[in-house]
Every structure is written in C-alpha cells, then in structure tokens.
Amino acid sequence: MILITGAAGFIGFHLAIRLLEKGERVYGIDNLNDYYDPDLKQSRLELLNASDNFRFEKLDLEDKAGIDDLFSKEKFQCVINLAAQAGVRYSLVNPYAYLESNLHGFLNILEACRHSQVGHLIYASSSSVYGKNTKMPFSVHDNVDHPVSLYAATKKSNELMAHTYSHLFGLPTTGLRFFTVYGPYGRPDMALFLFTKAILEDQPIDVYNNGEMLRDFTYVDDIVSGIENLIPIVPSPSTGWNSDSPDPASSTAPYKLYNIGNNNPVKLMDFIEAIESATGKKAKKNFLPIQPGDVPATYADVQDLVSTAGFKPGTSIQEGIRKFVDWYKEYYKVTF
C-alpha cells in the first residue's frame, strides 16, 4: 500500500487518481484545512472515494500520536509526502503555519517512516529553494543556501532533515523540487486560477514585476508521471560521492534530489496570452512591482530525472492552459 499525505490537495489528488487507475492500493490523509476553498478539496475526495482501493483519514501531520497510530496499523511500502503549508506570499503573513506543518509535521513523517522501516520516502520540495541563485537552468547539483522566503527555507530544511535520516537510519529518501505546477483542480491561490477567474469575470489581473517574469510552468500530469516513475527507483548510496567536493543531489546515504519541471521557461506575458486564447477574452492588466519572496525567473535542469527515470515533462503551456480553462468552465458552470 502507498501512503499519500495531502491526498485532497492538488498534486496529491492527481497522483492518487493515477495510482488507483494502475490498480495500486492508496491510503490518503489530509487535514482539509481552509487555506483555500475546502469545497474544492471535498470535490477531489469524492472522486477518490469512488475507488474501492482508496482509503482516507482526516489527519494532521502535526498530530504525532495520530501519525504513529496510522503507521502502527498499516504497512506502507512507499510514503509520498505532499502535505505542506504552501504559498510563498502567505509565509510572510503567517510564518508559524510553515514551521508547524512543514517542519514539525515532516519530522513526524520521518520518525514514523524510520520506526516502520518504510522502503522509500518521497517528499515534495520546491523550486523556491533556489532563491537568490541566478545560474540557469537551476541544477540540483548547485548549492541552494540563499532562500528568499520562509516557505523556501522550510523546503530546504526538509531536504536537510531527510538527508539526516537517510544517513543516520538508512531511510531511503527522494526529494522532488516541483516547478510552478498547474492544471485542473489546481490551487485557487495560484496565478493560472486567479487570472482565469478574473479574465472570465472581466476583472483586472495583478501582473507582478511589471510582467518581467519567467516561470517553468509544469503541467500536473507531468509532475505525476515523474513521481510515478521514481516510486520504484529506491535511492542507494553514491559510491562516487566526494566529501571534498560534495554533490548536494546525492550522498553516501540513500538520498537523492530531482527537479521536476518543464525545462522550458515561459514569459509571464506569453502565459497570459495563452489564457486569453483559451478563454476568448482579453485581460485587463494591473502592472505592479515584484513581491517580497518572489524570484524573477525559474528554469529546471531535468537531466537527472531523464537519466534516472527515463521521463521528461513536455506538455506545452497552450495545451495545459486549455485543459485547465475547460475544467474551470465545467466545474464552476461558466456560461456565456
């Protein structure tokens, strides 16, 4: 059985659907908090609950007793930790939520995996860990010690915590740095959702950094395929690892890091044009300076993912946005 934390979340939902379609048994947990519309999370859960191979429990990662009880009752071959307090800008408003969920909660997962001898822990990191880095494309082999948001700092901390458990206890861990994930059932706080809603309602959109942004937008099905391909690839110690010149992406412990991104950065204005094309409406743009915690560009080097998992994301922004807009119109019953 595979455990997915954050199963009612955006990526967790899509991953669970994919694994259930393959005939896997999936156990999902989620705290169903109100960071964004709980009805959207319930809609995802309804689709998941239609499968006899899916079991769900409302559970918070910070509930150590609840997590320990779950792991004592169930035997998980693989744990995929996607639950987290997300969002760069919200970390400026409510920093403690990030420490509680992303650090305390992740520690509970690490401890449970350690004591239950889980065969493989896969966890979500983020492209935000690259912070002040400007060398493009972003590589997992480069140092990432200069985050520019607390959210990014907690994700970098997850990588360090995972390495410690891989080193001390031999727990195989794989960290995945996701790059700007979008698609149907996406988070309402993300740009695509906000822009689509505003454009369809003839409301202005806020365009930060005066539109001078580059993002490696990655369609959710590509993210899921990357995770799916990596599940059976359990990390092993790197025999060539050199402590005089340490590679951040591997170790003498069973520990690995991968980027999962489209490897094709898109200008924000081109992104908006694709939404305009899919909706058939023009955007009213409100140009603003860059926001604290944001980075001007992201670009994923995915060579390690290609070499190890034999997969490279490739959904075009036009195709992905069209699929999202079609879903949005159907889900919210938008008619003209």
According to the model, what pLDDT value does residue 36 have? 86
Cα–Cα nearest to 26, from 55, 47, 6, 59:
55
In angstroms, the CA 230 to CA 227 distance is 5
According to the model, what pLDDT value does residue 133 have? 94
- Digit-by-digit pLDDT tens for the chain (336 residues) are 999 999 999 999 999 999 999 999 999 999 998 888 999 999 999 999 999 999 999 999 999 999 999 999 999 999 999 998 887 777 888 889 899 889 999 999 999 999 999 999 999 999 999 999 999 999 999 999 999 999 999 999 999 999 999 999 999 999 999 999 999 999 998 999 999 999 999 999 999 888 888 999 999 999 999 999 999 999 999 998 999 999 999 999 999 999 999 999 999 999 999 999 999 999 999 999 988 878 888 999 999 999 999 999 999 999 999 999 999 999 998 875
According to the model, what pLDDT value does residue 336 have? 58
Residue type, 189: D
Catalytic residues: 151
> Tokens 């340490």 correspond to what residue?
246
Copy the structure tokens of residue 43: 């809609």
According to the model, what pLDDT value does residue 279 have? 95
According to the model, what pLDDT value does residue 296 have? 86
According to the model, what pLDDT value does residue 307 have? 95
In angstroms, the CA 274 to CA 8 distance is 28
